[in-house]
């Protein structure tokens, strides 16, 4: 058998294979969570003119300590069009344009007014320009507001709106087909008979992609039959096909021959990873294939390390890999074997405690875990208190 592919090499080979989705223009209301296809530049300056930051009176700082004559009013959207001269002031409100001639705002809590006559009633503004926002304080026309390949967040959508955009160019939504394989599987909740195994990988994968701009095409549960699998795979109309199960070497592990029978090619198979060794990657026409192992924890770990990053890469992300961090180990760990290990673990009081049994079928252990401890292949034994690389999962 060929040597196992290291995790990082598998990731870079996948990114090289996976093409990016084309761009489309969407209204801001549909842009949340999408990746920008180009730099977004400001089409206007913000603020477009000097504004008041407070409710009060627009004055000339040089006229302090007053008194002043109030000659008009400037409200947000309804500016004062005249000129504020020596000894003059206008009423002004938050967000209103500063009238020509005025440079400072006296807040109304520090002012006393009698008809047109305005007097200082407090300390007054400490410096020229106090309580105003200068033109261009936030950004000027042409400023890059969002870089190409950034993911759109609520704040980025708001800054795009303020920058004069009503639509944005983003990567289109990705079509991901998901197929579970296995004669032992039934849909979740479909029977009270304890013998058949409820399908969980497909539903878990859909949940793991739920926060991404992805449309799931659910191929359901496919039987362990070469002709059925071949026909189902050949009919897929998606950017990415993710299968689970049937990836290993048993007589009923048919995903690989079925992809080949459908006219596809397997680019690589078997990763230096635990759990998740039998994962395969390939292409079927214009559809990319990720064949995940059937063991539920193996499917989860390969989805974190390969499916989500490939999906993010295809959607236009610049930095699609999951971010790891560090934690102190709660207990000693034995030396690792040759595959990179992602150990299910709980984070308690900032320390990571690995589960006693690391079996790739155990979903309850996974569901109780908040992180995976990453152990390099052939890593030596580690001691409680050592720093370890972890991947937070919950
Ligand atoms: N002789 C060898 N046997 C195995 C090897 C090996 O190298 N040599 N690798 C083992 C490893 S590692 C893994 S991981 C598994 C993966 O095998 P498959 O991808 O072929 O998975 P299945 O055999 O179809 O299923 C494994 C296990 O998971 C359950 N399963 C499958 N699909 C689902 C689903 N959608 N929802 C819930 N549970 C599912 C299935 O019932 C099995 O119990 O192979 C080892 N064997
Ligand atoms: O790699 Mo398998 O995924 O150890 O259980």
* pLDDT score for 211: 97
Taking the centre of ligand 1 as the mean of its atom positions, its distance from the CA of residue 15, in whole angstroms, is 26
Burial (0-12, 13-18, 19+ Cβ within 10 Å), 30:
middle
What pTM does this model have? 0.93
Is any atom of ligand 1 closer than 6 Å to the C-beta of 197?
yes
pLDDT digits (tens, 9 = 90+) for 45-67: 999 999 999 999 999 999 999 99
pLDDT at 363: 97
Q: Which of 275, 290, 315 is the last residue of a domain?
A: 315
Same domain, 55 and 14: no
Tens digit of each residue's pLDDT (9 = 90 or more) over 3-43: 999 999 999 999 999 999 999 999 999 999 999 999 999 99
Which residue carries 């639509």 as its tokens? 167
Q: What is the mean pLDDT of residues 193-200?
A: 95
Find the domain containing 161 and state its range: 25-46+140-170
pLDDT tens-digit series, residues 60-92: 999 999 999 999 999 999 999 999 999 999 999
What local confidence, expressed as pLDDT, does residue 175 receive? 98
* Domain assignment present for 259: yes
Q: Which of 359, 334, 346 is nearest to 392 (CA)?
A: 346
277 pocket-lining for ligand 1 (C-beta < 6 Å): yes
Sign of CA dihedral 345, 347, 353, 357: negative
Can you tell me the distance from the alpha carbon of 196 to that of 183, in angstroms, rounded to the nearest whole number?
Answer: 9
Residue 184 lies in a domain: yes
Q: How far is the CA of 180 from the centre of ligand 2 (A)?
A: 17
For the cut 80, the answer to whether the pLDDT of residue 1 exceeds it is no
Give the nearest ligand 2 atom to 276 CA.
Answer: 3
Same domain, 207 and 310: yes
What pLDDT shows up at residue 2?
Answer: 81
Establish if 147 belongs to a structural domain: yes
127 and 107 both lie in a single domain: yes
Residue 374 CA, ligand 2 centroid: distance in Å: 15
Q: How far apart are CA 292 and CA 246, in angstroms?
A: 8
CATH number of the domain that residue 385 is part of: 2.40.340.10
pLDDT of 332 reads 97
Q: What is the pLDDT of residue 268?
A: 95
The H or E element spanning position 156 is: helix 154-162
What is the tens place of the pLDDT at every residue in 268-309?
A: 999 999 999 999 999 999 999 999 999 999 999 999 999 999
Q: Are residues 80 and 154 in the same domain?
A: no
Q: What is the mean pLDDT of residues 129-157?
A: 98
Same domain, 362 and 294: no
| Pocket test residue of 10, 249, 250, 274 for ligand 2, highest count of atoms within 8 A of CB | 274
- With a pLDDT cut of 90, the percent of the chain lying above it is 98
Ligand having the closest approach to the CA of 256: 1
Q: Rg for the chain (alpha carbons), in Å?
A: 31
Query: Shortest CA distance to 270 belongs to which of 250, 249, 240?
Result: 249
Question: C-alpha distances in angstroms, 92 versus 30, 69, 115, 136, 289?
Answer: 37, 14, 15, 20, 63
Domain termination site, one of 271, 296, 315 = 315
Closest-approaching ligand to the CA atom of 222 = 1
CA distance linking residue 88 with residue 102, whole number of Å: 9
Whether 100 is in a domain gets the answer yes
| Cβ count near 68 (within 10 Å) | 26
Q: Is the peptide bond before 365 cis (omega within 30 degrees of 0)?
A: no
180 CA from centroid of ligand 1 (Å):
12
Say whether both 159 and 196 belong to one domain: no
CATH number of the CATH domain containing 164: 3.90.105.10
Residues 186 and 272 in one domain: yes
Q: Is residue 132 within 8 Å of 83, Cβ to Cβ?
A: no
Question: The domain that contains 114 carries what CATH number?
Answer: 2.170.190.11
Cα 50–55–59 angle (5° rounding)? 60
* Contacts for 115 with CB less than 8 Å, ≥ 6 apart: none
**Where is the domain boundary, 255, 281, 315?**
315
> Does the interface ipTM go beyond 0.95?
yes
Same domain, 196 and 149: no
120 Cβ contact partners less than 8 Å away, ≥ 6 residues apart: 64, 65, 66, 67, 106, 110, 111, 112
Question: Half-sphere exposure of residue 354, counting CA atoms within 13 Å on the CB side?
Answer: 23
Average pLDDT value for residue range 151-162:
98
Buried b (16+ CB within 10 A) or exposed e, 270-293: bbbbbbbbbbbbbbbeebbbbbbb
| Residue 380 confidence class, pLDDT cut points 50, 70, 90 | very high
Beta strands, E only, 167-223: 167-171, 174-181, 185-186, 197-198, 214-222
Separation of alpha carbons 233 and 6, rounded Å:
27
């Amino acid at each position: 058998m060929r040597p196992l592919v290291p995790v990082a090499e598998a990731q870079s080979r996948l990114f090289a294979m996976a093409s990016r989705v084309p761009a489309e223009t969407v209204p801001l209301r549909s842009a949340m969570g999408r990746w920008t296809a180009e730099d977004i530049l400001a089409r206007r300056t913000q603020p477009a003119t000097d504004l008041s930051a407070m409710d009060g009176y627009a004055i000339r700082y040089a006229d302090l300590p007053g008194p002043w004559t109030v000659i008009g009013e400037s409200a947000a959207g309804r500016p004062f069009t005249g000129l504020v001269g020596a000894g003059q002031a206008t009423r002004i409100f938050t967000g209103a344009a500063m009238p020509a001639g005025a440079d400072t705002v006296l807040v109304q809590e520090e002012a006393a007014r009698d008809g047109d006559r305005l007097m200082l009633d407090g300390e007054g503004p400490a410096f020229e320009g106090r309580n105003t926002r200068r033109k261009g304080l936030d950004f000027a026309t042409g400023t890059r507001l969002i870089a190409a390949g950034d993911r759109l967040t609520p704040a980025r959508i708001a800054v795009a709106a303020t920058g004069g955009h009503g639509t944005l160019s983003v990567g289109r939504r990705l079509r991901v087909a998901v197929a579970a394989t296995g004669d032992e599987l039934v849909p979740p909740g479909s029977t009270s008979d304890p013998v058949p195994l409820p399908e969980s990988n497909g539903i878990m994968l859909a949940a793991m992609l739920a926060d991404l701009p992805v449309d799931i095409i659910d191929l359901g549960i496919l039987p362990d039959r070469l002709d059925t699998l071949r026909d189902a795979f050949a009919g897929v109309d998606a950017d990415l096909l993710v299968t689970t199960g049937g990836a290993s070497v048993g007589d009923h592990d048919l995903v690989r021959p079925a992809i080949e029978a459908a006219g596809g090619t397997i680019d690589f198979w078997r990763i230096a990873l635990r759990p998740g060794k039998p994962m395969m990657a390939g292409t079927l026409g214009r559809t990319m294939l990720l064949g995940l192992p059937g063991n539920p924890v193996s499917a989860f770990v390969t989805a974190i390390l390969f499916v989500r990053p490939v999906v993010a890469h295809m959607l236009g992300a610049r930095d699609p890999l999951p971010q790891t961090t560090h934690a102190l180990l709660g207990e000693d760990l034995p030396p690792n074997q040759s595959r990179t290990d992602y150990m299910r673990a709980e984070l308690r009081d900032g320390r990571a405690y690995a589960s006693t049994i690391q079996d790739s079928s155990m979903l309850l252990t996974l569901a109780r875990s908040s992180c995976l401890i990453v152990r390099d292949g052939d890593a030596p034994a580690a001691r409680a208190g050592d720093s370890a690389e972890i991947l937070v999962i919950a």
